[in-house]
Each structure stands twice: as structure tokens, then as C-alpha cells.
Amino acid sequence: MSDRKTLQIKQISGHSGPAAGFGVQREPEVCKLVDTTICIGCKACEVACVEWNDMPFSPTTFDNTYQTMPETRWNFWNLIKFNEHQRGDGTIQWLMRKDQCMHCADPGCLRACPADGAIVQYTNGIVDFQQENCIGCEFCVSGCPYDIPKFNPATKKVYKCTLCSDRVGQGLEPACIKACPTGCLKFGTKDDMKYVAEERAKQLRENFGFENAGVYDPQSIGGTHVVYILHDATDPERYSGLPSSPVIPWSYTVWKWLFKPVLGTFALFGLVGVLLHYVTVGPRRPQPEPPLKTPLPEKES
Amino acid sequence: MSTAIERFDHKARAVFDQIGQTEVYEGELLRHRVYTRFLHWMVALFFFLALFTGFGIYMPWLFRWFTPIFGGGPLSREMHPWFGLGFVMFFGLQTLNWLKPMKWTAADTRWVRNLAKIVGGKEKHDPPDTGFFNGGQKVQFWEIVGGCVVYLITGIILWMGARTFGRWAVAVSYVLHDISALIMLGGIFIHIYLSTIGEPGTFQAMLRGAVSEGWAWTFHPAWYKEVTGRDPVQACEEARRKTTAK
């Protein structure tokens, strides 16, 4: 067991302050690079994901596109989203985007989660759900800008892509990466992937006529650990609703870390208040009270 | 509309008076009938069930020890909305039952203005125009009515979730739901305190349904006058003379 690598936790849901041991060791951030320009929609990654994570088979829904099902499910974490985009000149473009957890640097799910330790973020950037601590409140669903966490009514817990944290912890690439036949999926450190992505976008702009080609790594949530190369980075929405500027509802941060403990304490003051009232002022009894045995000492004025 | 409610309440009170009974002894007055008491304790039961399951969702790192009572975190979460529905339903019936005595009057405004003196223990008696319910009770009652509306709307949004109502609806509802709960949590301490040790003799009103006449002329003089026809101040003085004469 001594040679087993484990991932160092950086952030824990429902838990203020730094995680123990964070920052002790240098750990590079990992990144999955998805080049949408060379995805052929073969869905090998979908199969690899279901296989590796040993997920039960579930019937799919056909909605007249090249998509396996309309959206990801609690037991289907990796879906090639398909959109037939009509360009200004009337020509058609097939857009394939691998939809999965983006492993945000500032994860909305983790911010929204009230349960201690149900969601953790590792130092390498992977955001992972720890189902044993999950209470199934589904606040993470509203915290996520990408609509990724999915509720399983049977276990009453929420599931999503782990970025194969079990494989990455052992020094292996995620299952989807291993299965990709075209080289559309790459895995490495965030710095390396960003470099490769920028080079590829430059190539697309200069040699292939995609003037707006670029890299999707939204800074509104501190960047993501899944990075896309898009033919047109000015309009990510056309890739089946990829948000151009994802946001996390501010109420989660303000309410959870400021008002929840402060106002909770105020509510407890109700208890302290009535106890103090009893001790200092005392109860009000139905009148007339029985006469006092010994008269109260007179107050000095 | 109001007559339909009155007919319903009238029938419910009559039915519950047949199921249970309220014994009023010499020197006592009937305060709450069986139907009112039944509703009160159902509201209380569901309030605490919803409160304790809610604690497990509100701050699991602090209140995780509540969740095993309900079968763990996910089951607490699953049952919380049902407990909440029970609370809102029974409180809704209580609202109909109490619509009339809870009507706000000028006397209640005066009572609330006088609050500091009563809290400070400066006044042994409540103001002479204090009726069946005082201003403070009415404030708490209408706060809970408002809170129930907030609970119901935001609760359904949280229950059905972000995939039905959208992310922002859930993010905002969650804050409003919590604020409503915190106000009621603060209120429940005051409610329990005043009905037990804070004003002795009150608790039996909700248990047996009867209160002593002394309790009535002290805390609800106008109500005492209404049901007995006697002057509360004179009645109190008479009682005082009797006790000192002994």
C-alpha cells in the first residue's frame, strides 16, 4: 500500500477553512482537453465511461439527433452532445461536444452543498462527490452552471463524473481519454493542455479558416479542468448550450458562510434571552400572588 | 365564503367535543376546546419533526446527530417536505379556527406599545383592554401565517428542484426558507417560555383546555369581563382580601 498514490484534498463542502494537509506537497493541476473540431461522435468515450465506472445499463431515448440520450444521467456521466448549426451562408456544421463535469476551479456544487464532506476538491483540480456524506438535498444541482449533478431516486444521492479520480490517483488517464480513437481527447497538466489548446486554436485560425477559433476556459468560475477547443469561441452557446459566462448564485456564498451562522446564533439568542428573563425579571404569576414570606429589601434610591 | 369557513369550524368543534372533553372546575374558565387543542398539538408535532429534519439539512456539520432519528441524512431530506406539509396543513386549519379572535384591534397596538413594561416585569396585570389573545400572541400568529406562505412557496420550489424551477429560483428560495425558519425558531423559544415557566398557569390551557379565573383576570382582563360579566380589577381585589383574611 505504501506505493499507492492518493489525492490531496483542497476544499471540502460544508466545511470552512483549509483542508488538513493542503499545500504541503506540490501537485500539478490536471486537465482534460476536448478538441471539438476533430470529434467524430463515435461515442467510444461514453462506452468507456460506463464500462470503467461499472454503471448499470439503462434504456436510451432517441430524439432524432446523433445523441445517445437527451442529457446526462446519474449513471451516464459522459454524453456527446450534438447540434446541427446553420451558418450565416446557409451551410451546415455538425457540432459535437463531449458533455461532462467541467471540474471548475470554483465549483458551484461545492459552494452550494451544505453537507460536510459530500463534495471535495482535490489539489489537482478534480471535484469529486463522496456519496456516503451526501444527504440528497440537490442544492448542488442549482449551484452547477452546467446542469451536471444528477439525482438517483433509488439511493437518494447525487452522482456525476469523477474525472476518474480513482484512475488519476494511480497515475492513469481517465477512461474516456484512453478510449478516444481520434486524439480529440487529451489529458495532462493544466499548463500543458492550455498550451496545446492555444497552439491548436492558432492553427485553426491561421490554416483552416476558423477565424474565431479559441479555447473555452471560463474565467468567471476561475477556469475549468476540462477545456474545449471550439471552432467559434465567441458563441459557445451553440455547442448545445455551453454557457459563455457561467456564474454561481451569490446567495450560496453570502448566505452559507455569513448569514447562516450569524442568524442561527441570533435565533439561539431567543433561548438565552428567555432564560435570562426568567433569572433576572422572573415569571409573571396570576394575581393575586400569595403574600411574600419575607418582604423584599427596599432598593436604595 | 366566511360563512362556509364558520360552518366548517363549527362542525369540527362539535365533532371534536364529542370525541374528547374539557372539564372546567369551580373557579376555572374554558379557554381552548378539544378541536383547538388537537390542532395545536398536531402543529407542534409537525413543527418539531420539520425543525429537526430541517436542522440536518441546514447545517449537517453541526446537526448530523439529529439525522439518525429519521434514518439518516437522505431520509431526513426525503421526509422534511412531508413534515412541512403537515405543519402547514394543520396550521392552516388553526388559522381558519382562529380567524375571529386573531383579528387585529386598536387594543393590540396599545398592548404592543406597552410591551417593554410587561417584559421588564413592571406591570403585574396586562392592560385592561387585553382580550382573548393579546397583541404579542397575534403578532406571533400572523408571523407564522406569513411564514407558512413563504415555507409553502419556497418549499415546493426546493422540493421540485432546480431542474423544474431553475437554478436561481432554488438559490433564492433556499435563503428565504431558512430566514423564515430562523424567525420561527427564535419565536418558539419565547412561545414555550411564556406558556410554561414564564407565565405559570398557562400550560393547562392547551392541555386540559381550562384556566383559573385568576389567570384570566391577570393576563386577559377584557376576555374575563366578557365571559364572566364581572370586573377583573374588582374580582382580583376580592380574591386578595380573601387570601389576606385567612
pLDDT in tens, A250-301: 888 888 778 888 888 888 888 999 999 999 998 998 988 777 776 666 666 5
Query: B231 at the A interface (CB within 8 A)?
Result: no
Which residue has 376576555 as its cell numbers? B223
- CATH number where B143 lies: 1.20.950.20
First to last CA, chain B: 55
Given a cut of 60, is residue A2 above it in pLDDT? no
Query: Which CB contacts under 8 angstroms, 24+ apart, belong to B52-58?
Result: B53/B77, B53/B79, B53/B80, B53/B83, B54/B80, B54/B84, B54/B181, B56/A135, B57/A114, B57/A135, B57/A137, B58/A114, B58/A260, B58/A264, B58/B178, B58/B181
Distance, in Å, from the CA atom of B57 to the CA atom of A115, rounded to the nearest integer, reads 7
Distance, in Å, from the CA atom of B202 to the CA atom of A224, rounded to the nearest integer, reads 61
Contact A97, A185 (CB under 8 A): no
Task: Output the nine-digit C-alpha cell for B207.
Answer: 392541555
Q: Are A252 and B219 inside 8 Å of each other by CB?
A: no
Q: What does pLDDT average to over chain B?
A: 94
Quote the percentage of chain B above a pLDDT of 90: 88
The predicted-structure confidence for B113-127, as pLDDT tens digits, reads as follows 999 999 998 888 999
Q: What angle do CA A240, A244, A245 make, to 5 degrees?
A: 135
The predicted-structure confidence for B145-182, as pLDDT tens digits, reads as follows 999 999 999 999 999 999 999 999 999 999 999 999 99
The beta-carbon neighbor of B73 closest among A135, A266, A277 is: A135
Contact A100, A228 (CB under 8 A): no
* Omega cis (within 30) before B68: no
Distance, in Å, from the CA atom of A120 to the CA atom of A103, rounded to the nearest integer, reads 11
Count of CB pairs separated by less than 8 Å, A with B: 154
Given a cut of 60, is residue A227 above it in pLDDT? yes
pTM of the predicted protein model: 0.90
Q: Are A273 and B189 inside 8 Å of each other by CB?
A: yes
Min CA distance, B133 vs chain A (Å)? Answer: 16
- Among A137, A144, A251, A292, which would you mutate to test the B interface (most chain B Cβ atoms within 10 Å of its Cβ)? A137
- What is the domain range of residue B50? 2-210
The predicted-structure confidence for A188-197, as pLDDT tens digits, reads as follows 999 999 999 9
Chain A positions in Cβ-Cβ contact with residue B172 (cut-off 8 Å): 249, 251
CATH hierarchy code of domain A9-248: 3.30.70.20
Given a cut of 90, is residue B129 above it in pLDDT? yes
- Does B31 map to a domain? yes
Given a cut of 60, is residue A28 above it in pLDDT? yes
The predicted-structure confidence for B195-241, as pLDDT tens digits, reads as follows 999 999 999 999 999 999 999 999 999 999 999 999 999 999 999 88
Query: B70 at the A interface (CB within 8 A)?
Result: no
Chain A positions in Cβ-Cβ contact with residue B167 (cut-off 8 Å): 141-145, 249
Query: pLDDT value at position A59?
Result: 87
Query: pLDDT value at position A295?
Result: 65
The beta-carbon neighbor of B200 closest among A135, A147, A285 is: A285
Q: Are B168 and A249 inside 8 Å of each other by CB?
A: yes
- Does B233 map to a domain? no
Strands (E), A145-194: 150-152, 157-159, 185-189
- Among B77, B78, B125, B240, which would you mutate to test the A interface (most chain A Cβ atoms within 10 Å of its Cβ)? B77
Strand duo A30-35 + A226-230: pairing: parallel
Chain B positions in Cβ-Cβ contact with residue A151 (cut-off 8 Å): 161
pLDDT band of A115, cuts 50, 70, 90: very high
The predicted-structure confidence for B71-83, as pLDDT tens digits, reads as follows 999 999 999 999 9
Distance, in Å, from the CA atom of B163 to the CA atom of B180, rounded to the nearest integer, reads 24
Q: Which residues pair with A32 in a beta bridge?
A: A187, A226
Average pLDDT over residues B25-29: 94
Q: What does pLDDT average to over chain A?
A: 91
Q: How many domains does chain B have?
A: 1
Query: What are the domain boundaries of chain A?
Result: 9-248, 250-282
Query: pLDDT value at position A1?
Result: 38
Q: Are A136 and B73 inside 8 Å of each other by CB?
A: yes
